[in-house]
Amino acid sequence: MPGFELFGELERKQVNDVLDNGVLMRYGFDGMRNGHWKAKELEAELQTTFQSKHVQLVSSGTAAVSVALASAGVGAGDEVIMPTFTFVASFEAIMMLGATPILVDIDDTLCLNPEAVEQAITSKTKAIMVVQMCGSMGNMDALQAIANKHKVLLVEDACQAIGGTYKGKPLGSIGDLGCFSFDFVKTITCGEGGAVITNNKAYYTNADHYSDHGHDHVGNDRGAETHPFLGYNFRISELHAAVGLAQVKRLPEFLDIQKRNLNILKDALSDIPEVTFRTIPEGGDESGAFLNFFLPDLETTRKVIQGFKEGGVDVCWNYFDNNWHYIRKWDHLKDLKSLFPISKEVKDGLEYLKTKDFSKSDHYIGRNISCLIKLSWTEEEVRHRASKMIQVIKAVL
C-alpha cells in the first residue's frame, strides 16, 4: 500500500485507451467509444475479486458509504453506529444523509467492540457500520449476530482493507453492503474512486440510480431515461476507472509484497516482550497494508514515535494525537462547526459527544503504533527498517 508506488505500462495502456477513445464519462456516448467501457469492466473484475453479485463504482470511498446507506433507506431520524477509530469521512458520510453517527468504543482488534455496539442499540438504530481499519477486521461473527438480533443493517467500510479476508470471504462482502476506497493512497488506486458492493439486487439498483442523479439507465438514450427517485452525482470517470482496472489485475502481486513485508517486521518485533500485536479474529487474514502493535503505555508510545522520527523510520503514527482518525481531536464534530445549519434532530442526537467517555478506546489507541507497509520496499530495506525499529523501542524501554 499504496498501489501508485508500482505504476507501470499496464496503467498507462488503460489510460491511453480512454484518451485515444475520447470518452471520459462512464455513461452514454455509445457510438464514440469503440467498445471501451472501463467502469463496466472494472465493476465486472471487482465482482470476482470481492465474490459479490453486484458492484457499483462511485467517485470516492466517502461517496461509497453515503450511497450504500442511502440505497438501504438510511436517512433523517436514523442512527448509524460507528467506531471512534476511523477516518472523518465515516461520520461525514452519515451526516450528509441527515442521519446521526453514534460513536462507540473499539477493542484490541482496533475495530468495533461488540459489547459497546450492543449497548448503543436504540429504536432509531438503522445500521451498524464496522470500519475494517488498517487492513484487518472486527469480530464479524459477533457483530453480525447483533445486527441479526436487532434486525439492522451490517455495513462494512473496508476502504483500508482490500484483500483482507474473514473465514475465506473478502472483507466488504460479509455484511449487507460493503464500501471501498480507491483514492491515491489505497492498495489499489484509481486516483479518486470507490465502490459499493452487495448481494442484494434492490440495494444495487438503488445505488446505481442514486449515484447518477436518479437515472434508471434503461435503454441506450441517456436523454430519454426516467428518474424513479431523487439522486445525486457520485459518478466515477472513465479515466479513474481505467487506472483502477489496471491496478485490480495486479492486486495479488500487491498483496504478496505487503504480506511479505508485514511478516518480516512482525517476526522481528515479536522478540520484544513488551510489544503485542492487534488481535486478528480467528479465521481472519489481514491484507498486510499496515503493521499495528501495542506498547505498555501512552508515554512509552509517544517516546517511540519520536525516536522513529529522529531515526528515520517514516510512515508510523500514534493516532491518539492524530487529527483525522480518532475522536479525541474531532472538535469540528463535537462543536458542530458547519457551513450550513445542521438539523435539530442531528444536533440533539450528537449531544452525547459532550459527555461520552471513550477511555476504553483511549486504552488501545494511546498504546498503538500503526505503520504503513510500502510496496516499493525491497526485502533488504524492510529488514534494515526492522532493525532500526527494534533499536529505538529497546532504547525507550
Residue 275 pLDDT: 98
Round to whole Å and give the CA distance between 13 and 10: 5
Identify the three-state secondary structure at position 262. Answer: helix
The string of pLDDT tens digits covering residues 13-29 is 999 999 999 999 999 99
The string of pLDDT tens digits covering residues 306-325 is 999 999 999 999 999 999 99
The mean pLDDT value of the chain amounts to 97
Round to whole Å and give the CA distance between 165 and 172: 9
Chain position carrying cell 449531544? 351
Domains (ranges, CATH) in the chain? Answer: 3-250 (3.40.640.10), 252-396 (3.90.1150.10)
Identify the three-state secondary structure at position 23. Answer: coil
The string of pLDDT tens digits covering residues 167-214 is 999 999 999 999 999 999 999 999 999 999 999 999 999 999 999 999
pLDDT confidence bin for 276, thresholds 50/70/90: very high
Residue 311 pLDDT: 96
B/e letters for 157-193, b = 16+ CB within 10 Å, e = fewer, are: bbbbbbbbbbeeebbbbbbbbbbbbbbeebbbbbbbb
Q: In a 10 Å sphere around its CB, with 0-12 CB exposed, 13-18 middle and 19+ buried, how is residue 392 labelled?
A: buried
**Which residue in the list 186, 266, 344, 360 is annotated as catalytic?**
186
Q: Is 186 an annotated catalytic residue?
A: yes
Identify the three-state secondary structure at position 101. Answer: strand
For the chain, give the percent of residues with pLDDT over 70.
Answer: 100
Indicate whether this model's pTM tops 0.85.
yes
Mean of pLDDT values over 23-39: 95
Q: Which residues neighbour 396 within 8 Å (Cβ) at sequence distance 6 or greater?
A: 300, 303, 304, 307
User: CA–CA distance from 32 to each of 12, 20, 22, 43, 69 (Å)?
Assistant: 21, 11, 8, 21, 35
The string of pLDDT tens digits covering residues 43-99 is 999 999 999 999 999 999 999 999 999 999 999 999 999 999 999 999 999 999 999
Round to whole Å and give the CA distance between 14 and 7: 12
